[in-house]
């Protein structure tokens, strides 16, 4: 016999956990007693969840989170939704009050705790007995890691941790499944028969380790490669001659971009993610389209065409093995050379020029996304992280987590508005001495919104003025070294300084 805490630690170890992300509260304390690995504290739960997500995605391991009951859990649910869309394997534990006082609606007691994180978890449980907590945790990890991966939730009463229980036996699981060879054959036939075939790559390709397989397939079969709308990971070496560019989330622009192609394989993405209403066909009329994905949701809403479910990397490898060599004849994505002025495009170009070779980009700067595509090419596996949900407040803590999950410099490119959602994440960046350069693209506004307002015939959007924020001070107040950059001349020095530091630094870059 052992106790729940020791048995739970054994579960954590079995699934490769090596740290705990959390924000502590009284109903969670006994979990932490004699904890055998580091505790990474975030100053609120949105920060905690963002860090855990970044860590899980960059390390390839499940992340373990501990939150305070109801209110603490609630603070995390914005970034939990993002983790859900990011397919990040995260096991979220949350404290619950002691079982014996739940009948009296105690302080810090959670009512219907397993309902609170829904619908954005794959599984949620409060075990029926203290001694079943370790089994619930083991199940939670298995569910989180089954593709399509995602967060799960376990509510644990505070008095459970000291209770006696058996040490659970833990399974060895093979959870990735391969596409049906008959499905792969259909895709192969489509590509083989095409005049000008294309491959569209979405977030799930990188999540599933398909970077090399995509390159190999594209090169062998002569495919033009596009990044899917709102891809939240690196898709393909953006300096590769076969990289054709980025597809926008407008239906007509999708058709325009893909117009040259008569056969389209979409890997690891929906067909397609839209931002606004549109009409007409979802892809060029006359073209064939098939989707290969490990996420059934990508197929259940497929508007025609064909779909094959299964591990994407395995599928891409099978296709590469099956298809004959063919020369690439398509067009290549082009970068631009923006003028030297305090605008996003120029700043991004200088980041591209000065970044360490293996630097990882984490981004949440909606107005910088478009210029980024033509100035700051992503060229390595594990080289890019953003959020798949469109929710702001992820990437600042996300960058801290990404930095913990791998060994290279992280450059966090953040809008001023985006950065403010979870600005207290800087404190953990400092406490943990993570190797992150926070680069604030500060335009003193929610500029994506004011820009977008034309879609609705609006001249003015209230609540978009962010003037007056001093990010260098916000960083220094939390321990980071920081600089404000107000003119082009100071930019390179500031970037070089920040990129050379191993400690976290922040640049407040004032752009127009």
Using CB under 8 A as the binding rule, whether residue 471 contacts its own copies is answered as yes
Question: What 3-state class would DSSP assign to 126?
Answer: coil
Nearer to its own copies, 291 or 361 (CB): 291
Note the Cα 114 to chain centre separation in Å: 24
Q: Is 372 a catalytic site residue?
A: no
Choose between 56 and 352: whose C-beta lies nearer to its own copies. 56
Question: Dihedral sign, CA of 187, 188, 189, 192?
Answer: positive
- State the minimum distance, in angstroms, from the CB of residue 379 to its own copies: 26
Kindly state whether residue 332 participates in binding its own copies, applying the rule CB under 8 A.
no
The answer to whether residue 28 is catalytic is: yes
457 lines the binding site for its own copies (CB under 8 A): yes
- Site for its own copies (CB under 8 A): how many residues? 153
Can you list the pairs that 34-42 forms with residues at least 24 positions away whose Cβ atoms lie under 8 Å? 34/5, 35/9, 36/9, 37/12, 40/404, 40/428, 40/432, 41/428, 41/431, 42/397, 42/424, 42/425, 42/428
Active site residue 115: no
253 binds its own copies (CB under 8 A): no
Shortest Å, Cβ 498 to its own copies: 19
Active site residue 381: no
Candidates 8, 59, 82, 386: give the one binding its own copies (CB under 8 A): 82
321: contact with its own copies by CB under 8 A: no
Range 349-388, binding its own copies (CB under 8 A): 387
- The reply on whether position 393 binds its own copies by CB under 8 A is yes
- Near its own copies by CB under 8 A: residue from 10, 335, 461, 488: 461
Q: Is 29 in the site for its own copies (CB under 8 A)?
A: yes
Binding to its own copies in span 262-291, by CB under 8 A: 270, 272-278, 282
Cα–Cα distance measured from residue 237 to residue 377, given in angstroms and rounded to the nearest whole number: 8
Q: Which residues contact 456 (CB under 8 A, 6 or more apart)?
A: none
Stretch that binds its own copies, among 65-73, 220-228, 368-376, 403-411 (CB under 8 A): 65-73
Helices (H), 87-159: 133-145
Work out which of 89, 95, 157, 405 binds its own copies, going by CB under 8 A.
157
- Closest approach, Cβ 30 to its own copies, in A, equals 5
The alpha carbon of residue 202 and the mean position of all alpha carbons in its chain are separated, in whole angstroms, by 12
Site for its own copies in 92-121 (CB under 8 A): 98-108, 111-112, 114-116, 118-120
> Can you list the alpha helix ranges (DSSP code H) found in 260-415?
296-300, 312-322, 344-354, 369-373, 395-405
Active-site residue, from 22, 42, 45, 268: 45
Measure the CA–CA gap between 386 and 293, rounded to whole angstroms: 20
* By the rule CB under 8 A, 297 interacts with its own copies: yes
Alpha carbon of 496 to those of 134, 351, 413: distances in Å? Answer: 48, 9, 15
Task: Tell me which DSSP letter residue 167 carries.
Answer: P
Among 89, 208, 417, 504, binds its own copies (CB under 8 A): 417
Which of 16, 26, 241, 407 lies at the binding interface for its own copies (CB under 8 A)?
Answer: 26
Task: For residue 269, give the DSSP letter.
Answer: S
Alpha-carbon Rg for the chain in angstroms:
24
For position 179 contacting its own copies by CB under 8 A, the verdict is yes
Query: What are residue 373's phi and psi, to 5 degrees?
Result: -60, -25
User: Shortest distance, CB of residue 400 to its own copies, whole angstroms?
Assistant: 15
Report the residue number, 43 or 399, with the smaller CB distance to its own copies: 43
Single residue of 235, 367, 375, 389 touching its own copies by CB under 8 A: 389
Looking at 174, 285, 357, 489, which residue binds its own copies (CB under 8 A)?
A: 174
Active site residue 68: yes
- 26 counts as catalytic: yes
Nearer to its own copies (CB atom), residue 305 or residue 377: 305
Using CA atoms, how far apart are residues 105 and 111, in angstroms rounded to an integer? Answer: 8
Contact flag: residue 164 with its own copies (CB under 8 A): no
8, 50, 54, 68: which is the annotated catalytic residue?
Answer: 68
Of 321, 296, 325, the closest CA to residue 311 belongs to 296
Q: How far is the CB of 192 from its own copies (least distance, A)?
A: 17
Of the residues 239, 358, 470, 486, which one makes contact with its own copies according to CB under 8 A: 470
Closest separation in Å from C-beta 264 to its own copies? 14
45 is catalytic: yes
How many CA within 13 A on the CB side of residue 492? 7
- C-alpha 21/C-alpha 44 separation (Å) is 11
DSSP assignment of 405-435 equals: HSSS-EEEEEEHHHHHHTTTHHHHHHHTT--
How many whole angstroms separate alpha carbon 512 and alpha carbon 494? 18
Please pick, among 16, 26, 164, 304, the residue that the annotation labels catalytic.
26
| Closest by CA position to 4, among listed 80, 107, 93 | 93
Catalytic sites, residue numbers: 25-26, 28, 45, 68, 275, 390
């Amino acid at each position: 016999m052992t106790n729940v805490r020791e048995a739970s630690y054994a579960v954590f170890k079995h699934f490769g956990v090596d740290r705990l992300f959390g924000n502590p509260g009284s109903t969670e304390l006994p979990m932490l007693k004699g904890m055998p690995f580091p505790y990474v504290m975030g100053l609120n739960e949105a920060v905690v969840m963002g860090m855990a997500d970044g860590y899980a995605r960059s390390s390839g391991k499940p992340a373990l989170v501990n939150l305070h009951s109801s209110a603490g859990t609630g603070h995390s649910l914005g970034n939990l939704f993002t983790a859900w869309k990011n397919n990040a394997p995260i096991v979220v534990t949350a404290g619950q009050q002691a079982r014996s006082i739940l009948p009296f609606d105690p302080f810090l007691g959670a009512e219907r705790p397993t309902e609170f994180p829904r619908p954005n978890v794959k599984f949620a449980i409060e075990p029926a007995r203290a001694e079943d907590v370790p089994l619930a945790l083991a199940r939670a990890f298995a569910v989180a890691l089954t593709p399509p991966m995602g967060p799960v939730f376990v509510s644990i009463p505070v008095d459970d941790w000291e209770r006696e229980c058996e040490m659970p036996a833990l399974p060895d699981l093979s959870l990735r499944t391969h596409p049906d060879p008959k499905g792969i054959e259909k895709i192969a036939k489509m590509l083989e028969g095409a005049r000008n075939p294309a491959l569209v790559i979405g977030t799930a390709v990188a999540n599933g380790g398909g970077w090399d397989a995509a390159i190999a397939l594209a090169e062998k079969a002569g495919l033009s490669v596009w990044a899917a709308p709102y891809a939240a990971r690196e898709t393909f070496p953006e300096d590769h001659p076969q990289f054709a560019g980025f597809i926008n989330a407008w239906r007509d622009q999708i058709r325009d971009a893909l117009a040259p192609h008569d056969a389209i394989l979409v890997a690891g993405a929906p067909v397609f993610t839209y931002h606004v209403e549109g009409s007409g066909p979802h892809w060029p009329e006359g073209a064939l389209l098939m989707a290969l994905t490990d996420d059934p949701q990508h197929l259940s809403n497929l508007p025609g065409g064909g779909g094959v479910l299964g591990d994407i990397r395995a599928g891409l490898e099978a296709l590469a093995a099956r298809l004959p060599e063919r020369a690439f004849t398509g067009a290549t994505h082009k970068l631009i050379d923006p003028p030297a002025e305090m605008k996003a495009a120029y700043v991004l170009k200088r980041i591209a020029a000065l970044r360490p070779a293996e630097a990882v980009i984490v981004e949440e700067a909606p107005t910088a996304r478009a210029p980024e595509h033509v100035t700051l090419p992503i060229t390595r596996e594990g080289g890019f992280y953003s959020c798949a949900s469109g929710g702001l407040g992820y990437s600042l803590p996300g960058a801290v987590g990404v930095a913990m999950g791998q060994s290279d410099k992280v450059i966090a490119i953040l809008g001023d508005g985006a950065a403010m959602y979870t600005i207290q994440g800087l404190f953990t960046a400092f406490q943990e001495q993570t190797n992150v350069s926070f680069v604030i693209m500060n335009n003193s506004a929610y500029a994506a919104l004011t820009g977008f307002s034309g879609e609705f015939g609006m001249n003015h959007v209230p609540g978009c003025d962010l003037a007056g924020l001093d990010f260098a001070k916000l960083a220094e107040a939390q321990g980071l070294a920081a600089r404000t950059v107000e003119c082009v001349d100071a930019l390179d020095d500031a970037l070089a300084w920040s990129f050379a530091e191993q400690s976290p630094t922040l640049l407040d870059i004032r752009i127009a």
